Structure 1
């Protein structure tokens, strides 16, 4: 009886729930079954679609022997501006090693770091793919390897590009499954190890082994195999010829993974740092230039694997002179960099360090360092644009701005001087006052206008060069001054041709813009020329006009000199990579001497050019007295004491009007009044009464003026009452 009562109660509760809007359990089960059916149908369709795509890819895929013979890498011949071949970059293929010839330790090392489940997946690894999705959602960076399997990497290297789009990833997955369908695991691994890129132009493990260790890949040791396997992730970053410590660190990761996965015994002790690397002769610093210019091909050319020739702006003689000047003048233990460009922005020489083999880090294009007082270029540009001239008087005195008190390098103040002297001797207190007066945001805006691409802070100390910049950007800014204030865009590629001579790309001069007025460009050139002639940049003199500016940061951590002569603009930086002090380093010493040593060669075949420093000031900077003769007072409108407008040519100006008195003094005796011939010549005249309407009220504007303004004529004039202004 109790059970029957409980059942009736549950039935009543269900009915009440249904009546109250609840969903019966039966309906939930129905929707659940429908969703399961739809999901299964969609999954089936997806599997069918993928299967058809894989099957189609398998049918159209080349054979194993065709893939062996295919070389997907590209040969690039780089030429100087005169056609001289400066370097050839491209594939270096060693001997093709079969799966049996490849050392097992090399296979194990590559699988451990790139695809630990290689022998168990079907081309894509669901575990790694799922991990990538989770990583993308959580922002985790715990995984060591990438998301692509060895089969996916082979598909990308052989058939696709490195575009990171979703479409490319989907095609990569389809092709990877097609490879797994068509070829065995050993064949795929053989293709991969003989085709993967290891940096330095080396494709395949045999080429890499010969390049880095001077012996074939069949003789690879465990440590050497770990170094080569570690290169795949980032060949340039982990190259043992570029950064031994990075290569050893990466190899240690590979060895740890091999032990964790049981591919070498945990008891085995391997020291990758003890590996003997192949000794390479010093390479010409032209590699700094090619490292900067060749990545630009990705933006200039469509995707192509055919051999190409790249004609660059590099001048071989200037590059050699630049390299020699940096090596000869850079202090011991420091690094030096140089960028030189023509008046149109063509980069003529580029040196990113003292030795490319020791370090391929490009300090000319990548390093962010403080420019010191060379940054004052933008301070004085802003001041000149605001109305200053080189001859204006300024005061070198102690100053405090928002709690910041700059000091001069000499430790003293000299009082009143002109702007030219303050710039030539790089007086900090004057630069601080100018920056405060024109506004620090105006200085930052000027720097951005002239091509500074890095972050710019606008606190007061920024006027002394506390913001970090790239040397190539500072050189670009000075090149714009050399171009009389026109914008300059640095470039390094003139044209690109195929091996058959087909033109793929031709440089075209970009549209330039006037960054500052002519008089501002002339004024700053005047200041820059004085800085070299008599100021801090005297060491940069080369026997012809030079304009430039030194820069030295606190504790002599950075030395700068940037200047131009005869259309060539050159920037030099020196300092230590760890940003520590360099004894005796100042912008006016080693950097200026390196500039002069290079520029003597760079401009030797160019005509001597005098600078245009003639200031043609705009009208708004002229004295007021020079404007008194502009126009005729008979052409001016005046307001009388009642606030009425007196039109030109019809009204006499009262003698107590200060404007009229000024005109009298300026123009001399008064001319006859054409409307009053009875009283010609000088003498007082009664003031003209304002016109009146029909009701006798004064009008603000006369009828003649209205008719002239509205185009009315005497034949269609309105009655007086209708011409009144309401």
Structure 2
């Protein structure tokens, strides 16, 4: 049997080499980037699909909610205030001035007709400019994106809103032609002062249809789009001109205008068809008139055009006189003031409701109930004249006690016997109370009601001294009857109200009320009030022409009044504090009378 020998293992042949795989970082990076792109594209795709499902209902393009607008027109026919959103009938593309379209494209989106709703070139250019200047002075949004934002989205900035804005912009580009997008944009964009759309802005600022806008008008309106409040030509005329100039420069740079044409346009500026009412003091009248307009016209979804009695020139003078008086009274503790100006029919021509409308919208001329003091006395004296008393009638000025109350004269003195003329001219309290008690307080209350005072009047002895609180407007309105032959009025600020398609829906028709006294008695009270200014407590109210009025000071110097009339105007002034603390011996015959004189001297020149 043969023996098998075990074979020895051979060592590996040196001719066979091991296979090694080398790591290539470049190739790995490319693979990683490729995978990230795939995953990123997938995530973006899912995100876009999701955001598409979250978009607003774009089928309701024409159903943007809005509140009915109210435009207030002054007595000179010029709009001076507005509330709510103001729209007009949309303008067709063919009617839009070419200059306005060029101004819009040169300023907001020069590549509008070359992009698909999103313009990467504009974004890159804006980023370069912003980086170079170190601040954000240019944006990259296209007009289509702006339209998408204005129509469907909120102003809040977020990444999600930007994605939705892009998707909506693409949808608009697919659904409408470029000219249609421009037309929708211009009919919906906000131009400031509550105006939406080109037509509303054109009528608001220039009082003409948009199709008649010239080059400067067009540049100004386009300039408003960047910051409607900042570049408002009514509030900031200088900034508006500067912005308009920049729009004209943009048109020149875009080769849509020559430099000569731009210079000519800027040199021939349009007049803004708006009342030049500086500050915000006129807003007291505007708020008061707006509330009445809503009450008179009821609910309407249409814009109201309210024609008012407001006189811008008288308003400016009233504000100047009050401001000057407040400066003088600041050292005497005077913190607030109010003033109303009426004509003999009861039309409210001007109204100052406080020191600053910006700081306080509370209207002290129509809402504040204050004690009028002796400013109420003329009603008591006219009631006495109606009962047969004469200006020469004698009334006792001796100590008087009614129950536990003993009235005193302002100077603490008694004069035994005085005439009605002396008692009213010197504003004596004791004879006035005695007169009121003799004729019966109810006679004074009844007359006050006929004169239009609706505030509570308590049947108490202090009634004759103005202890009951009234508003400045109602007491000044009562004085109108002293100036017009005795005919009481209801103060009003609205002549008529119109709405588109319906015409006049409200017209003021003041009822002719019977005289509160015979003409003889009205002439007597007029003469008494004239003597107050000629030789009595109202000397500081004297002016170059005939005037009549009465001073009033409440207990503790908390209120100081002067109400009077001259020529065509009746004006009432109140000074005091909102906290009802005492002033430093400010009386109605002092600062209020001086303010009244200052105003009336200039106001009579305005109305004559």
After TM superposition, is the score higher than 0.5?
A: yes
Are the structure 2 counterparts of residues 283 and 499 from structure 1 closer, same or farther at C-alpha, using a change threshold of 3 Å? farther
Residues 293, 306 of structure 2: 8 Å contact kept: no
State the TM-score, normalized to the length of structure 2. Answer: 0.58
Residues 395, 435 of structure 2: 8 Å contact kept: no
The reply to whether residue 294 of structure 1 matches residue 290 of structure 2 is: yes
The reply to whether residue 91 of structure 1 matches residue 85 of structure 2 is: yes
Residues 560, 588 of structure 2: 8 Å contact kept: yes
Query: Where do 1:132-211 residues align within 5 Å?
Result: none
Alpha-carbon shift at residue 429 of structure 1 (Å): 0.7
Report the 3-state secondary structure (helix = DSSP H, G, I; strand = E; otherwise coil) of the residue aligned with 2:378.
helix
Alpha-carbon shift at residue 96 of structure 1 (Å): 4.5
Residues 282, 355 of structure 1: 8 Å contact kept: no
Are the structure 2 counterparts of residues 68 and 553 from structure 1 closer, same or farther at C-alpha, using a change threshold of 3 Å? same
The reply to whether residue 592 of structure 1 matches residue 593 of structure 2 is: yes
Q: Which residue of 2 aligns with 1:337?
A: 338
Question: Which segments of 5 or more consecutive residues in structure 2 lack a partner in the other structure?
Answer: 1-55, 88-145, 159-192, 197-225, 227-276
Report the 3-state secondary structure (helix = DSSP H, G, I; strand = E; otherwise coil) of the residue aligned with 2:570.
strand
The reply to whether residue 321 of structure 1 matches residue 317 of structure 2 is: yes
The reply to whether residue 71 of structure 1 matches residue 65 of structure 2 is: yes
Are the structure 2 counterparts of residues 547 and 96 from structure 1 closer, same or farther at C-alpha, using a change threshold of 3 Å? same
Q: How many residue pairs are counted as aligned between the two chains?
A: 375
Are the structure 2 counterparts of residues 297 and 439 from structure 1 closer, same or farther at C-alpha, using a change threshold of 3 Å? same
Which residue of 306, 311, 322 maps to 1:310? 306
Aligned-partner Cα distance in 2 for 1:84–1:479: 27
Q: Which residue of 1 aligns with 2:554?
A: 553
Q: Describe the superposition over 1:495-544 as per-residue Cα deviations: whole angstroms up to 9, x where unpaired.
A: 22346793333322322222222222122111111111100011111111
Alpha-carbon shift at residue 202 of structure 1 (Å): 11
The reply to whether residue 431 of structure 1 matches residue 432 of structure 2 is: yes
Q: Which residue of 2 aligns with 1:567?
A: 568
Aligned-partner Cα distance in 2 for 1:369–1:202: 39
Q: Which residue of 2 aligns with 1:467?
A: 468
Q: Which residue of 2 aligns with 1:82?
A: 76
Question: Which segments of 5 or more consecutive residues in structure 1 lack a partner in the other structure?
Answer: 1-61, 105-199, 204-215, 217-280, 608-726
Query: Where do 1:36-55 residues align within 5 Å?
Result: none
Q: Which residue of 2 aligns with 1:171?
A: none
Q: Which residue of 2 aligns with 1:179?
A: none
Superposed CA RMSD in Å reads 2.8
Are the structure 2 counterparts of residues 65 and 583 from structure 1 closer, same or farther at C-alpha, using a change threshold of 3 Å? farther
Aligned-partner Cα distance in 1 for 2:61–2:522: 60
More relative contact order, 1 or 2 (CA 8 Å, 6+ apart): 2
Alpha-carbon shift at residue 75 of structure 1 (Å): 2.4
Q: Describe the superposition over 1:255-290 as per-residue Cα deviations: whole angstroms up to 9, x where unpaired.
A: xxxxxxxxxxxxxxxxxxxxxxxxxx9842110001
Aligned-partner Cα distance in 2 for 1:102–1:90: 22
Q: Describe the superposition over 1:378-417 as per-residue Cα deviations: whole angstroms up to 9, x where unpaired.
A: 2111111111000112221111122211111111112222
Alpha-carbon shift at residue 64 of structure 1 (Å): 6.8
Are the structure 2 counterparts of residues 302 and 554 from structure 1 closer, same or farther at C-alpha, using a change threshold of 3 Å? closer
Aligned-partner Cα distance in 1 for 2:548–2:499: 42
Q: Which residue of 1 aligns with 2:96?
A: none
Aligned-partner Cα distance in 2 for 1:398–1:567: 41
Aligned-partner Cα distance in 1 for 2:57–2:481: 57
Query: Where do 1:93-112 residues align within 5 Å?
Result: 96=150
